[in-house]
Structure 1
Amino acid sequence: MESKKKAFSLYDIVMIGLMAAVVFVVTMFLSIRIPTPTGTTMIKLANAFVLLCGLLLGPVRGGLAAGIGSMIFDLMTPEYAPEAWITFLRFFLMAWLCGVIAYAGAAAAKKFARNLVACLAGAVFSSLLYMLKGIIELMIGGSALVPAFVANIPKLMTSPPNIVIAVVVAMALLPALQKAMNSTSFGRHIAEK
């Protein structure tokens, strides 16, 4: 039995780069930065596009696009640059989880209910990682668990609005973007095999 390796085509690489650029631009220009005692947090539209990466490109390609775009934003923002690798992992996993659920069982992100569950799972998972990262950072600095959690509450207050915005916007844009992609030969070339 022969197994075929799924190599990335030039179409895949271009789409990963395009979606990474979209994630970067939306993070840079469509976010509200909120200073807190433990660092700056954001209410942002970019999480919706991270979810769209997973829905439109599938788990691996979408994860790469989301992770790369988010990481580039961090690298260009001095406050976040030291954590760029963590950001890559967090947003890769957010889009990857969304893509895995949306594409499971040959669904190919075409089922509304499955896509909704995929978006919710990805957004909540990302928020949990964000919370865990903040707590671990303070504990490494010498804080106990409860004070570390309490100190992160102001940053955590942005998670519910970010989850709602991400899921609503991603689910609203998905049908139009899928239709646009499927109407082009380019879109058909990058369809999950």
Structure 2
Amino acid sequence: MSNSKTLRLALTALMAALAYISFTFLQIKIPTPGGVTSFHLGNTFCVLAALLLGGVPGGIAGAIGMGIGDLLDPTYVLYAPKTFFLKFMIGLIAGLLAHKVFHIEEKSGKALVWGVVLSTAGGMLFNVIAEPLVGYLYTTIFFGASAQAAKALASWNFITTSVNAILAVVIASLLYLALVPSLKKSGTLKKLARA
């Protein structure tokens, strides 16, 4: 395995671990009649991984990190398949926007800032829409919850997902922009892009 592939694999694993830790330990759970939702910072590392590595590795990092978080928490264990899907899609969308639409690895200054913010916002906008919708379908179809209970959960999911999205966009964008100068100077950013 080449050094750049090893670096990408290690960074994907690191982002998955950070997504797990921030989802599991930096979380405020909110019980609703249809299930549980939460405020958390797990999405931050999903979109940060997508910015650094691309859509598929970013999606994998988020899906693994937060999926494992679900599997290890009795409150969320049955939601793990939904989490794997949604978090993978967040990373995929953010990475595609970052590297195929905005080409952030080639940008600097305001163009870089806008590309980073719009890419993370695109991934998180997907989640703000999809999380309540998929959650509603998931709780009614798989858990047999009443439409009223599923609607209550979807309403709370929309609120918590929106707050989580804003936090993820701000924090991931700031982290990426803080890391870029050092990564460019060391040549690591090129290694990540080439692998």
Picking from 74, 79, 82, the partner of 1:83 is 79
| C-alpha RMSD of matched pairs (Å) | 2.3
Describe the shift of the 1:135–1:113 C-alpha distance in structure 2 as closer, same or farther (beyond 3 A): same
Give SS of 1:191's match: helix
Distance 1:27 1:74 in 2: 9
**Once the two structures are superposed, what CA deviation does each residue of 1:40-68 show, in whole Å capped at 9, x if it has no partner?**
21111222222111111111111111111
CA shift, 1:127, in A, is: 2.0
TM-score by length of 2: 0.83
Once the two structures are TM-superposed, the CA of residue 19 in structure 1 deviates from its matched residue by 0.9
Aligned length: 185
Q: What are the within-5 Å matches in structure 2 for residues 163-174 of structure 1?
A: 163-174=165-176
Structure 1 residue matching 2:193: 3-state secondary structure:
coil
The equivalent residue for 2:26 is 30
Q: 1:76 to 1:183 in 2, by over 3 A?
A: farther
**What SS does the aligned partner of 1:89 have?**
helix
1:54 aligns with 2:55: no
What's the CA shift for 1:17? 0.8
User: What corresponds to 1:21 in structure 2?
Assistant: 17
User: Unaligned regions of 5+ residues in structure 1, if any?
Assistant: 1-7
Unmatched tracts of structure 2, length 5 or more: none
Task: Give how far 1:122 is off.
Answer: 0.6
Cα offset, 1:74, TM superposition: 1.0
- Seq. identity, %: 31
Q: Does structure 1 retain, via aligned residues, the 8 Å contact 2:37–2:153?
A: no
Residues of 2 paired with 1:42 and 1:142: CA distance? 19
Per the TM alignment, residue 186 of structure 1 is displaced from its structure 2 partner at its CA by 5.2
Post-superposition CA distance 1:59-96 (Å, at most 9, x none): 11111111111111111112222222221111111011
Question: Residue 115 of structure 1 corresponds to which residue in structure 2?
Answer: 116
Aligned equivalent of 1:153: 155
What is residue 136 of structure 2 aligned with on the other side? 135
Is residue 32–residue 153 contact of structure 2 (8 Å, CA) maintained in 1? Answer: no
The residue type equivalent to 1:107 in the other structure is H
What one-letter code is carried by the residue in structure 2 that aligns with 1:45? Answer: L
